[in-house]
Amino acid sequence: MTETVSSKEAKQYIVVKLGNEQYGIDIQYVDNIVRMQKITRVPKAQDYFNGVINLRGEIVPVMSLRVKFELEKDEYTNKTRILILKFEQQAAVGVIVDEVREVVTLDSDNIEKVSYNPNDEKTLYLSGIGKHNDNLISLLNIEGIIVEKEKEA
Protein backbone atom coordinates (compact mmCIF):
# COMPACT_ATOMS: atom_id res chain seq x y z
CA MET A 1 0.00 0.00 0.00
CA THR A 2 2.72 2.41 0.96
CA GLU A 3 4.46 1.71 -2.29
CA THR A 4 1.55 2.82 -4.40
CA VAL A 5 1.28 6.02 -2.43
CA SER A 6 4.88 7.00 -2.86
CA SER A 7 4.89 6.12 -6.56
CA LYS A 8 1.82 8.26 -6.99
CA GLU A 9 3.57 11.28 -5.59
CA ALA A 10 6.65 10.84 -7.68
CA LYS A 11 6.79 13.10 -10.71
CA GLN A 12 9.04 13.21 -13.69
CA TYR A 13 10.89 16.39 -14.49
CA ILE A 14 12.91 17.43 -17.47
CA VAL A 15 16.13 18.99 -16.24
CA VAL A 16 17.36 21.98 -18.21
CA LYS A 17 20.34 24.23 -17.78
CA LEU A 18 20.12 27.97 -17.68
CA GLY A 19 23.43 29.69 -16.93
CA ASN A 20 24.90 27.85 -13.96
CA GLU A 21 21.62 26.67 -12.56
CA GLN A 22 19.55 23.61 -13.19
CA TYR A 23 15.82 23.86 -13.51
CA GLY A 24 13.20 21.13 -13.56
CA ILE A 25 10.05 21.31 -15.65
CA ASP A 26 7.15 18.98 -14.92
CA ILE A 27 7.09 16.60 -17.84
CA GLN A 28 3.33 16.63 -18.18
CA TYR A 29 3.46 20.18 -19.56
CA VAL A 30 6.19 19.47 -22.09
CA ASP A 31 4.76 18.85 -25.51
CA ASN A 32 7.91 18.89 -27.53
CA ILE A 33 11.58 19.87 -27.60
CA VAL A 34 12.87 21.52 -30.75
CA ARG A 35 16.15 22.98 -31.86
CA MET A 36 16.70 26.68 -32.04
CA GLN A 37 15.18 28.17 -35.16
CA LYS A 38 14.42 31.54 -36.63
CA ILE A 39 12.22 33.54 -34.33
CA THR A 40 10.03 36.27 -35.78
CA ARG A 41 10.04 39.29 -33.54
CA VAL A 42 6.65 40.62 -32.43
CA PRO A 43 6.74 44.39 -31.96
CA LYS A 44 5.46 45.86 -28.69
CA ALA A 45 5.32 42.48 -26.99
CA GLN A 46 6.53 41.89 -23.45
CA ASP A 47 10.32 42.06 -23.38
CA TYR A 48 10.71 38.43 -22.34
CA PHE A 49 8.88 37.26 -25.44
CA ASN A 50 11.39 36.82 -28.21
CA GLY A 51 8.71 36.37 -30.83
CA VAL A 52 6.93 33.57 -32.57
CA ILE A 53 8.06 30.45 -34.40
CA ASN A 54 6.48 28.11 -36.88
CA LEU A 55 6.03 24.74 -35.26
CA ARG A 56 4.77 22.45 -38.01
CA GLY A 57 2.22 24.95 -39.21
CA GLU A 58 1.24 26.30 -35.83
CA ILE A 59 2.36 29.67 -34.59
CA VAL A 60 3.90 29.39 -31.13
CA PRO A 61 5.14 32.33 -29.06
CA VAL A 62 8.57 31.87 -27.58
CA MET A 63 9.81 33.42 -24.35
CA SER A 64 13.25 33.73 -22.94
CA LEU A 65 13.55 32.35 -19.42
CA ARG A 66 16.82 34.21 -19.07
CA VAL A 67 15.14 37.57 -19.62
CA LYS A 68 12.27 36.53 -17.41
CA PHE A 69 14.64 35.58 -14.59
CA GLU A 70 16.76 38.65 -15.19
CA LEU A 71 19.87 36.68 -16.09
CA GLU A 72 22.29 37.81 -18.78
CA LYS A 73 21.06 37.60 -22.37
CA ASP A 74 20.68 34.34 -24.26
CA GLU A 75 23.60 33.08 -26.22
CA TYR A 76 22.49 30.63 -28.81
CA THR A 77 24.72 27.58 -29.10
CA ASN A 78 24.39 24.19 -30.61
CA LYS A 79 22.83 22.98 -27.39
CA THR A 80 20.17 25.66 -27.17
CA ARG A 81 16.69 24.20 -27.31
CA ILE A 82 13.13 25.44 -27.30
CA LEU A 83 10.84 23.52 -24.98
CA ILE A 84 7.27 23.66 -26.18
CA LEU A 85 5.01 23.76 -23.14
CA LYS A 86 1.31 23.15 -23.28
CA PHE A 87 -0.31 24.49 -20.20
CA GLU A 88 -3.77 24.62 -21.71
CA GLN A 89 -5.20 22.97 -24.77
CA GLN A 90 -4.45 24.88 -27.94
CA ALA A 91 -2.23 27.40 -26.24
CA ALA A 92 1.39 26.39 -26.49
CA VAL A 93 4.33 28.50 -25.37
CA GLY A 94 7.97 27.88 -26.13
CA VAL A 95 10.74 28.60 -23.64
CA ILE A 96 14.38 28.93 -24.61
CA VAL A 97 16.88 27.03 -22.49
CA ASP A 98 20.66 26.65 -22.76
CA GLU A 99 20.62 22.89 -22.66
CA VAL A 100 18.32 19.97 -22.01
CA ARG A 101 20.06 17.43 -19.78
CA GLU A 102 17.97 14.53 -18.60
CA VAL A 103 14.70 13.33 -17.19
CA VAL A 104 14.62 12.65 -13.46
CA THR A 105 11.97 11.17 -11.22
CA LEU A 106 11.51 12.92 -7.92
CA ASP A 107 9.12 11.84 -5.22
CA SER A 108 7.76 14.25 -2.69
CA ASP A 109 10.39 13.31 -0.08
CA ASN A 110 13.05 14.78 -2.31
CA ILE A 111 11.23 18.03 -2.93
CA GLU A 112 11.53 20.93 -0.60
CA LYS A 113 8.89 23.57 -0.67
CA VAL A 114 10.01 27.13 -1.09
CA SER A 115 8.56 29.81 1.11
CA TYR A 116 6.54 32.30 -0.82
CA ASN A 117 7.79 35.81 -0.52
CA PRO A 118 5.22 38.31 -1.77
CA ASN A 119 7.89 40.97 -2.28
CA ASP A 120 9.88 38.80 -4.60
CA GLU A 121 7.93 37.99 -7.69
CA LYS A 122 10.49 35.42 -8.67
CA THR A 123 9.47 33.04 -5.93
CA LEU A 124 6.24 32.76 -7.86
CA TYR A 125 8.15 31.05 -10.62
CA LEU A 126 9.32 28.22 -8.41
CA SER A 127 7.27 25.38 -7.05
CA GLY A 128 10.05 23.76 -5.02
CA ILE A 129 13.64 22.60 -4.86
CA GLY A 130 14.38 19.03 -5.90
CA LYS A 131 17.33 17.00 -4.65
CA HIS A 132 18.78 14.47 -7.01
CA ASN A 133 22.18 12.80 -6.60
CA ASP A 134 23.65 15.75 -4.68
CA ASN A 135 22.38 18.15 -7.31
CA LEU A 136 19.82 20.78 -6.55
CA ILE A 137 17.16 21.39 -9.16
CA SER A 138 14.87 24.39 -9.04
CA LEU A 139 11.44 23.15 -10.02
CA LEU A 140 9.57 25.67 -12.13
CA ASN A 141 5.98 26.65 -11.58
CA ILE A 142 4.85 26.71 -15.21
CA GLU A 143 1.58 28.38 -14.45
CA GLY A 144 3.30 31.21 -12.60
CA ILE A 145 5.64 31.77 -15.51
CA ILE A 146 3.20 31.68 -18.37
CA VAL A 147 0.01 33.08 -16.98
CA GLU A 148 1.09 36.46 -15.90
CA LYS A 149 -0.08 38.69 -18.62
CA GLU A 150 -2.67 40.61 -16.65
CA LYS A 151 -0.23 41.72 -14.00
CA GLU A 152 2.25 42.97 -16.52
CA ALA A 153 -0.30 45.04 -18.35
Partner 1 sequence: MDVSQYLEIFIDETREHLQSLNEQILVLEREPENVDTINEIFRAAHSLKGMAGTMGYKRMQRLTHDMENVFSEIRNGKMKASPKLVDVLFKGLDALEQYLDVIVNSGDEGTEDNEDIINALNEILQEGLGGGAAEPAPAPAAPAAPVAAATATAAAGENGVKPYTLAEHEKSAISKALSEKMNAYAMTVYIQESCILKAARAFLVFKALEDLGTVIHSEPSVQDIEDERFEFDFTVVLLTDKDAETAKKKVENVSEIKMACVETIKPEDVAQAVAEEKKETVEAAAAVQKEAPAQANNTAAAPQKTSGKPVVNRSVRVDIDKLDDLMNLVSELIIAKNGLVSINTAEVTGLRESGFNEQIEYLERITTNLHQSVMKTRMVPIENVVSRFPRMIRDISKKLNKKMELYMSGEETELDRTVIDEIGDPLMHMLRNAADHGLESNEERIKAGKPEVGSIFLNAYQDGNNVVIEVRDDGKGVDVEKVKKKAVEKGAITAEQAATMSDKEAVDLLFRPSFSTAEQVSDLSGRGVGLDVVKSKIEALGGDVEAKTVLGEGTTFIVRLPLTLAIIQALMVEIGQEKYAIPLGSIQTIEDVMPEDIKYVQTKEVIHLRGNVIPLIRLRKVLDIPEDDFAPDSLTVVIVAKGDRLAGLVIDNLIGQQEIVIKSIGKYISNNKMIGGATILGDGEVALILDANAIV
Residues at the contact surface with partner 1, assessed by CB under 8 A:
38, 40-46, 49, 51-54, 57-61, 63, 91-93, 146-147, 149, 152-153
Decide: helix, strand or coil at residue 1.
Answer: coil
Cβ closer to partner 1: 51 or 128?
A: 51
Cβ closer to partner 1: 10 or 91?
A: 91
Q: Determine the Cα–Cα distance for residues 39 and 74; give it in Å rounded to an integer.
A: 13
Cβ closer to partner 1: 86 or 101?
A: 86
State the minimum distance, in angstroms, from the CB of residue 63 to partner 1. 8
State the minimum distance, in angstroms, from the CB of residue 38 to partner 1. 6
State the minimum distance, in angstroms, from the CB of residue 42 to partner 1. 6
Distances (CA, A) of 104 to 26, 76, 93, 135, 139: 10, 25, 22, 11, 11
Q: DSSP for 36-72? A: ----B--TTS-TTEEEEEEETTEEEEEEEHHHHTT-S
State the minimum distance, in angstroms, from the CB of residue 13 to partner 1. 22
Closest C-alpha to 80, from 25, 33, 136, 28: 33
State the minimum distance, in angstroms, from the CB of residue 41 to partner 1. 7
Cβ closer to partner 1: 107 or 148?
A: 148
Cβ closer to partner 1: 53 or 140?
A: 53
Say how many CA atoms lie within 13 Å of 2 toward its Cβ. Answer: 0
